[in-house]
Amino acid sequence: MATINQGILGGFSGTVGPVIGGSWKGIPYMRSKPGKYSYPPTKKQSSYRIKFKAQISFAKSLLNSIIKPIWDQKAVKMSGFDLFLKTNKNAFDHTGAISDFSMLKLSLGDLPLPNNLAVVNAAGGNGDINITWNNNSGVGSAAATDRLWVATLLDNIPLVLPVLNFTRNEQQATIKLPYKTGDTVHVYLFFNNEKKDIYSECFHSPLTIL
């Protein structure tokens, strides 16, 4: 049973025959009920479902740490979750694995990244890494107090480090990662201007831990 919200010409919520009506962020929509199929999926359909399921699982693991604070504010007429899926769909292959880490975007925004970002193992090893950059405060909306964010990936499992106390004007950071010697980790860096609540695009660097 459906409920008409604004007269006969308005949107409705509920079900009328094969049609479902509702509203998302104040935007009325209608969609058909999903059909029931008895035949097995094709190889292509199975691959797509595996890929999409992996994308969903990956996005869910970043929902509170990355998607809600960053992607929700950039999404237009869709959720930040859906924008994240749409932006990163080509980073995954048909097996559900991330096959192109350079295409994976964990952050987006208008805040400029620092110049000459680099990630290397620290001299002592033991999972310590050094991150360096050139301070470009004053370029666009870049400010000296912009804070560094670090996220890593190992075997498609993301780790977003707790809020760090390294700012753009410091031009370096030494961080301990919870990995063992020989692990190849993908490091993603971006910056946040907390006063303006804006973020930068992310910088990606693969690194084998010493």
Residue ranges per structural domain of the chain? 3-32, 43-103, 115-208
Number of residues in the chain: 210
- Which tokens in the block code for residue 65? 């740490």
The two most distant CA atoms of the chain are separated, in Å, by: 72
| CA 75 to mean position of chain CA atoms | 12
Rg of the chain, C-alpha, whole Å: 22
Task: pLDDT band for 75, please (50, 70, 90 cuts).
Answer: very high
DSSP 200: B
**What is the per-residue pLDDT for 8?**
45
Q: Does 172 score more than 60 pLDDT? A: yes
Second CATH level (architecture) for the domain 115-208: Sandwich (2.60)
Average pLDDT, the chain: 89
**Which residue did the predictor score with more confidence, 4 or 92?**
92
Q: φ and ψ at 123, to 5 degrees?
A: -55, -35
- Which tokens in the block code for residue 184? 């190849």
**What is the per-residue pLDDT for 36?**
65
CA distance 73 to 110: 12
Q: Does 33 score more than 80 pLDDT? A: no
pLDDT tens for 111-151 read 999 999 999 999 988 889 999 999 999 999 999 999 999 99
**Residue located via tokens 């990956």:** 58
- Which tokens in the block code for residue 181? 């010697």
Cα angle 35-36-40, degrees, rounded to a multiple of 5: 120
Q: Does 10 score more than 60 pLDDT? A: no
